[in-house]
Structure 1
Amino acid sequence: MGEVSGKAGSGERVDYGPQQFPDRLGFELWRFERALAKGLIPPADIGGRRWSAAVVEEVAGRAEEIRGATGSLPDMGGVRAAALLEERFGMPVAPEVLIELDRLGLVECVNSYKGWPLYDGLALEHFTDRAVLEKAKRDGRLLNRTAAARRLRVRACDFDHLTKANWLRPATWVHSGWQRRRDTPVVALYRLGDLEVLLVHPAIDWEEVRATSKGRPSALARLSPAPDA
């Protein structure tokens, strides 16, 4: 059922609900919700779910100002956001880049839809830094355990000591090919940027680690837990 509209005796509306209000302004729902979140539209003043006609008319007088402040792009998923950046910059952009831009605080994950992250459309609209994007593409590249160990040129057992001691943490988790979507993701993915930091860390003797023959204990087994673990 639709919203029940409050009306005065003269037939004029006395209050508006969360569907009627954006209709009055000519706003898409995403724009209305963004304006609310940014404080451009005041909270409901009637029962926590409706706005008085006086408030609505005051806001309507600022509709174009609010429209400009809320941008032209809704919040969107990683695939769509990557496609937008790809078109803007004329270079391949994988959805995983959005995880890196979120980590940097440049294009934040602001919500989710059916378990998929939604990224800030306003931040996407204003993102124009090619150099930052190129760095994010490299540092934010995601590798699974096998690929990450190969990048470090160590055995899988060596790599596992890094994660057990919290010297390396997953950037995100994804579903395996056999998992159902509603299951908890079990495949850890690691940032290339984090691997690069480890490769120059003075506390790790990579030559010793790589020189350890198959079947011998890993030199990384002596690692103490990371200082910020």
Structure 2
Amino acid sequence: MSKTQERADYGPQQFPDRLGFSLWRFERALAKGLIPPADVGGRRWSAAVVEEVAGRAEEIRTATGGLPDMGAVRAAALLEERFGLPVASEVLIELDRRGLVECVGDYKGHALYDGQALEHFADRAALEKAKHDGRLLNRTKAAKHLGIRACDFDHLTKAKWLRPTVWVHSGWQRRRDAPCVALYRLGDLDVLLVHPAIDWEEIRATPKGRPSPLARLTGRMPTKA
């Protein structure tokens, strides 16, 4: 009788080794219900369960795909190579927003994106749209995109007509401090640019030192009729 056959139960490291699975594949199979929950003490699997699962190893391998979940930088590099165009890591935030490549967790505070969704993503038009709409701009660049003063822009955020997509650290901040730089989604700015409740010509014509017409904004941005 082999040493493998003599084992009474398997732990979370021994089980994937028995199957020849990477840890990420094993954990994905568990999450998908392709491997049953531990049946020995809540943290180990009996030899009978392990052998049953081993008989389905190839089926499980196919069902769990070929890519692990990964961070935004690695995911962007993968898409860049696949489509032959530059892809910034921030695009993954937009792909998640659109339900195309979902954020499925985090590792050491960094978002992880669905490896299976990335493996099957092949929509170039959707990627290009996400690249545009998901571009992130700081306060200065966002105001410039709208063609208005920074003080005008501040009224948009104060009235909650525009909200940051993410907050990031500035160049001088310590990594352990809370991020203090707000970044805004280009797609949200473009929505404002065509909103009928805002007279952009009036705002842009307001001289320096004069109150902003946007100071009249109250409450959240109304939806279009």
TM over 0.5: yes
Q: Which residue of 2 is the match for residue 84 of structure 1?
A: 78
Matched positions, count? 218
Give the TM-score taking structure 1 as reference length: 0.92
Amino acid at match of 2:178: T
- Pick one of 138, 161, 175 that aligns with 1:181: 175
Runs of 4+ in 1 over 2 A off after TM superposition: none
Q: Can you list the C-alpha shifts for 1:95-146, whole angstroms capped at 9, x where unaligned?
A: 1111110111111111222222111111100100000000000000110000
- Determine whether 1:37 maps to 2:31: yes
Gaps spanning 5+ residues in structure 1: where? 1-10
Shift of 1:12: 1.6
Give the TM-score taking structure 2 as reference length: 0.94
Measure the CA separation in 1 of the matches of 2:189 and 2:199: 14
Measure the CA separation in 2 of the matches of 1:165 and 1:42: 50
Measure the CA separation in 1 of the matches of 2:84 and 2:24: 28
Q: Which residue of 2 is the match for residue 63 of structure 1?
A: 57
Q: Which residue of 1 is the match for residue 212 of structure 2?
A: 218
Q: Which residue of 1 is the match for residue 162 of structure 2?
A: 168
Measure the CA separation in 1 of the matches of 2:59 and 2:176: 41
Give matches, 1:46-195, under 5 Å.
46-195=40-189
Measure the CA separation in 1 of the matches of 2:68 and 2:124: 22
Q: Which residue of 2 is the match for residue 8 of structure 1?
A: none
Shift of 1:182: 2.0
- Give the secondary structure class of the aligned counterpart of 1:23: helix
- Give the secondary structure class of the aligned counterpart of 2:94: helix
Shift of 1:50: 0.9
Q: Can you list the C-alpha shifts for 1:6-29, whole angstroms capped at 9, x where unaligned?
A: xxxxx7212111111101110000
Q: Which residue of 1 is the match for residue 198 of structure 2?
A: 204
- Give the secondary structure class of the aligned counterpart of 2:204: helix
Shift of 1:227: 5.4
Q: Can you list the C-alpha shifts for 1:52-82, whole angstroms capped at 9, x where unaligned?
A: 1111111111110110111111111111111
Measure the CA separation in 2 of the matches of 1:32 and 1:16: 13
Calculate the aligned-residue CA RMSD, in Å: 1.2
